[in-house]
Amino acid sequence: MKIDISTDSPLKHTSPALVVGCFEDARDELFTACDKALDGCLDRLAVSREFSGKVNTTRLLHTLGRLPAERLLLVGLGKRSELDNERLRQAAGTAVQALRVARVASFATVLHLSGRPEAALELVCEGTLLGSYCFDRYKTRDRDEQFGFEGMTLLLPKGSDRKITRSRIERTSVVCQGVRLARDLVSQPGNVATPAFLAETARELAKQHKLEFRVYEYEELEELGMNALVAVGKGSSELPRLIVLEYRGAGQKDRPVVIIGKGITFDSGGISIKPGAGMEEMKTDMAGSAAVLGAMQAVAGLKLNINLVGIIATAENMPDGKAYKPGDVITSFSGTTIEITNTDAEGRMVLCDALHYARRYKPSAMIDLATLTGACVVALGHEASGLMGNNRHLVNSLKLAGERCGERVWELPLWDSYGETMKSDIADLKNAGSRDGGSITAGWFLKQFVGATHWAHLDIAGTAWVDKSRPCAPKGATGVGVRLLIEYLNCL
Ligand code: BES
Ligand code: MN
Ligand code: ZN
């Protein structure tokens, strides 16, 4: 969606719709002016409680020539004293979703005037760009019924600096493009988004943004000894890969941050096969790698002054005569041996080799993102990603980044004693222990492969995909992780 700016007065600007924020307990000048132009209609709506400004509610009115805007879309902001960044972001998402329902393709907004001037512009742009997302690539029927947004015009106070405003909008839209890339990749079905497809996507990204690119194909993975990644990929005719992207925005000597994504393009569970119901959702098991690609794109677009490496361990987890199986012992890339007790615990297998590989960069920090455990969904639902790590500063920074950007994370403990159930009689480790504390034992397993490197693990199993629409994430893929990483990296 195109975003324009104008210094027209909201009462004089012509557009198909004007979006106005409304508090439950306060009225600003603009609201009062609109009310007056509409002969007290807004006041009526409040008195009759048809629209009282509650959070994330909307009301669309036709102005019938009383205002140059054809329609007025009121968006609830709740109590004035409770308006925070996330509320404003969500209000913008709620508004744009209501406009989609009404099929209003272009509109003007003054929502940003309700928030703090330092941040409101970005928040409204972000909410709008995220809330207007729709994945309809495979809808071929009723083409003429399909709807696409044209543009939004931000109405600014007279005397606003256009250049600064434009660059603020541009930076926000670069980040949202990253989120949209991640959402697209996660939305794609497993027969399209294969390991080869992820590698091609990364290659194109590298070409566009002048990143270093490398992909390790099957034979090279075998030669290198990435046997854990190879083992998971063995049951599929879609061969596994390790994909590496390097962005240089700082000096040679600056140690990079490494971000690592789980890229299981379909997780059937393998020989420890999953139940059929809901298995289609396992096309989203590459959401960690989608977040890595989205974040690499955004960081390159923003030209951040950091060095960043993105690593993707990708495979399809399938049952087959060649598939790895329970009881197998695999010597991982690090040399640590792993007894397979459940082939459905494949994410930690592909990640352990990627984490070990990442250490060659001597990173200042490494962060992995993975739809790793169903247990994380049980623990935190869809409201927060699980966070674990071995470094207090890194963990706290990610928590703060999560608060600021609205992608919340919640820390789980990683005490050594959680490792008891991961001990094997035959090898160094088992890949799956008891069901209890499943997210933590998975995190504990990963920790065995990071050495002393500062490391954090984000379990996004519950946050990468939502069954019910949210203001800034229509149902489906959320692109979680991209904004969190950018927020974290931006504050380094
Ligand atoms: N990809 C799944 C985890 C998952 C579950 C992601 C639900 C998104 C929604 C992962 O590979 C998996 O199967 N984990 C197992 C681990 C167990 C076998 C130790 C799980 O959570 O049941
Ligand atoms: Mn699995
Ligand atoms: Zn999985």
- Ligand 2 geometric centre to CA of 431 (Å): 11
> Cα dihedral sign for 247, 249, 250, 255?
negative
| Whether the CB of 246 sits within 6 Å of ligand 1 | no
**Ligand approaching nearest to the C-alpha of 326:** 1
Task: Evaluate: CB of 466 within 6 angstroms of ligand 1.
Answer: no
Q: Where are the domains of the chain?
A: 2-132, 174-490
Is residue 174 packed enough to be buried (19+ CB in 10 Å), middle (13-18) or exposed (0-12)? middle
CA of 448 to the centre of ligand 1 (A): 19
- 3-class SS string, the chain: CEEEEECCCCCCCCECCEEEEEECCCCCHHHHHHHHHCCCHHHHHHHCCCCCCCCCCEEEEECCCCCCECEEEEEEEECHHHCCHHHHHHHHHHHHHHHHHHCCCEEEECHHHHCCCCCHHHHHHHHHHHHCCCCCCCCCCCHHHCCCCCEEEEECCCCCCHHHHHHHHHHHHHHHHHHHHHHHHHHCCCCCCCHHHHHHHHHHHHHHHCCEEEEECHHHHHHHCCHHHHHHHCCCCCCCEEEEEEEECCCCCCCCEEEEEEEEEEECCCCCCCCCCCHHHHHHCCHHHHHHHHHHHHHHHHCCCCEEEEEEEEEEECCCCCCCCCCCEEECCCCCEEECCCCCCCHHHHHHHHHHHHHHHCCCEEEEEECCCHHHHHHHCCCCEEEEECCHHHHHHHHHHHHHHCCCEEECCCCHHHHHHHCCCCCCEECCCCCCCHHHHHHHHHHCCCCCCCEEEEECCCCCEECCCECCECCEECCCCHHHHHHHHHCC
> Does 350 contact ligand 1 (Cβ within 6 A)?
no
Q: Residue 346: CB within 6 Å of ligand 1? A: yes
| Cβ of 371 less than 6 Å from ligand 1 | yes
Query: What is the C-alpha to C-alpha distance for residues 190 and 169, in angstroms, rounded to an integer?
Result: 34
CA of 343 to the centre of ligand 2 (A): 7
Closest C-alpha to ligand 1, atom 3: 373
Give the number of the atom of ligand 1 that is nearest the alpha carbon of residue 373.
21
Give the atom of ligand 1 at the shortest distance from the alpha carbon of 376. Answer: 21
Q: Which atom of ligand 1 is nearest to the CA of 433?
A: 19
Q: At 32, which amino acid appears?
A: T
For residue range 13-51, list pLDDT tens digits in order: 999 999 999 999 999 999 999 999 999 999 999 999 999
Q: Report the pLDDT value the prediction gives residue 333, as an integer from 0 to 100.
A: 99
State the ligand closest to the CA atom of 372. Answer: 1
The verdict on the CB of residue 132 being under 6 Å from ligand 1 is no
Instruction: Give the ligand at the shortest distance from the Cα of 375.
Output: 1
The tokens of 102 are what? 């009404």
Point out the residues that are catalytic.
274, 348
CA–CA separation, 179 and 307 (whole Å): 20
CATH, range 2-132: 3.40.220.10
CA 388 to ligand 2 center in whole angstroms: 19
- The letter for the amino acid at 425 is D
Contact 316 CB / ligand 1 (< 6 Å): no
Q: Ligand 2: distance of its center to the CA of 256 in Å?
A: 30
Which residue's CA is the nearest one to ligand 1's atom 17? 345
Ligand nearest to the CA of 342: 1
Q: Is the pTM higher than 0.95? A: yes
Q: Is the CB of 374 under 6 A from ligand 1?
A: yes
Q: Is the CB of 342 under 6 A from ligand 1?
A: yes
- 443 Cβ below 6 A of ligand 1: no
Residues (pLDDT < 70) of the chain are none
Q: 348: CA distance to ligand 2 center in Å?
A: 9
- Which CATH architecture best describes the domain 174-490? 3-Layer(aba) Sandwich (3.40)
| Ligand 1 pocket mutation pick from 271, 369, 373, 422 by most atoms within 8 angstroms of CB | 373
Q: pLDDT tens-digit profile of 409-460?
A: 999 999 999 999 999 999 999 999 999 999 999 999 999 999 999 999 999 9
pLDDT of residue 54: 98
Gap from CA of 319 to ligand 3 centroid (Å): 14
CB-side neighbour CA atoms (13 Å) of 222: 6
